[in-house]
Homo-oligomer: A and B are copies of this chain.
Amino acid sequence: MSKYWSELTASLVPYVPGEQPKDKRYIKLNTNESPYPPSPAVIAAIKSAANEDLRLYPDPTCEKLRQALAKYYGLTSDHIFVGNGSDEILAFAFPAFFSPEKPILFPDVTYTFYPVYTKLYGLTYETIPVDEQFNIEAEQYRRPNGGIVIPNPNAPTTRYLPVDDLRVILEANPDHVVIVDEAYVDFGGESAVSCIPEFPNILVVQTLSKSRSLAGLRVGMAMGHPDLIEGLNRIKNSFNSYTLDRLAIAGAVAAIEDQDYFMETTRKIMATRDRTIEILQPLGFQIVPSKANFIFISHPRQSAQSLFSELKVRGILVRYFNQPRIDQYLRVSIGTDEEMDYFVSVLREILG
């Protein structure tokens, strides 16, 4: 606390990212990174962009990247916004579309950054309970609101809501923006980008951090009606004109264009996920059906917190959330087959 802080600063409860301990080398299954490196085309594009042009500002509109994304999604570039990770895009979208008067709705079990944004911008929110199996129930999103955020698949639960159910929410809320946070959609889900021509109130947010193996490059994208994209640009251009550097733009374009590599690595991760689930079930684990690059697991005989600690001692990091409804669960990112085999063998050892 400092007398120089604004009231806002003093009131904030900032987000805490997954730990990155440096005391020893861990198998990192705790921050949903890809176990596979980015496409070789991405590395080549970045090396090629590491040249004397770095003395010049990047294109503030990131037109080349937006064109590549437009082609990929079958949209025009005025439907596309890009930012410094999907977190930054969400941080722009909350003030762009939400107002303090009415609560924003999102699930009670979800990405813990959402309430942090509301606090930053003086907004209010109401959480809608997911059901006992962690399903998001579309019918619950018919109550008065000032906007909605639906993570799909949801984190940390891995639960996926079919696009038809999303349509129910979109139709019930024609006067408010519905943000669909699709950070994990490329691991078996179907994107709601297909709803954009029909619904001027949907904003789909995605990221290169997970399915394109580029958590270290900080690039996210949002797709929606050009009016929504203009709203995001108004906030962004009142904050920082150049949020993507030249290297990030070059790498991101290459990532989007290398569809073969993307298909291959996401397919491998899904196969490893499904294989891991098959091995864990006989050990007594309850596993939520996953459409993400992580799984959400619980064991009836062992507390999640102690499992978390036992794994950490043995060099494996997973994520444990000490919060209501999910404190018996662990979120485990999908690594390589070898990493998951080791993870399972350590679990066997712990369970005895």
Contacts and interface: CB of A to CB of B under 8 A. Distances in A.
A2 interface: yes
Given A14-B237, A54-B214, A54-B216, A4 B248 contact: no
A38 interface: yes
A47 to B, nearest CB: 5
Given A38-B52, A120-B238, A6 B57 contact: no
Nearest to A209: B57
Contacts of A85: 240, 242
A215 B245 CA distance: 8
A247 interface: yes
B7 A237 contact: no
Interface stretch (A87-95, A132-140, A275-283, A317-325): A87-95
A-B residue pairs, 5 tightest by C-beta: A37-B52, A14-B237, A2-B227, A216-B246, A54-B216
Contact of A240 (B35, B91, B176): B91
A88 B240 CA distance: 6
Contacts of A16: 237
Given A6-B231, A37-B54, 19 more contacts: A4-B97, A5-B227, A7-B99, A9-B96, A9-B97, A15-B237, A15-B241, A20-B57, A20-B59, A20-B60, A37-B52, A43-B51, A43-B54, A58-B218, A87-B239, A91-B240, A216-B247, A217-B247, A247-B248
B6 A97 contact: yes
A241 B53 contact: no
A77 interface: no
> Among the interface residues A50, A117, A235, which one has the most CB atoms of the partner chain B within 10 A?
A50
22 contacts: A6-B98, A9-B97, A14-B238, A15-B237, A16-B237, A17-B242, A20-B57, A20-B59, A35-B55, A43-B51, A43-B54, A47-B50, A50-B50, A50-B247, A54-B214, A54-B216, A54-B217, A84-B240, A88-B240, A216-B245, A216-B246, A218-B242
Contacts of A2: 227-228, 230-231
Given A55-B38, A57-B17, A231 B95 contact: no
Contacts of A228: 2, 4
A36 interface: yes
A117 B236 CA distance: 11
A256 interface: no
Given A96-B6, A97-B6, A234-B12, A17 B241 contact: yes
A201 interface: yes
Given A17-B241, A238-B116, A238-B120, A57 B38 contact: no
Interface in A216-265: 216-218, 227-228, 230-231, 233-248, 251
A247 B238 CA distance: 25
A213 interface: yes
Interface in A158-200: 175-177, 200
A15 B216 contact: no
Interface in A28-69: 28, 31, 33-38, 42-43, 46-47, 50-60
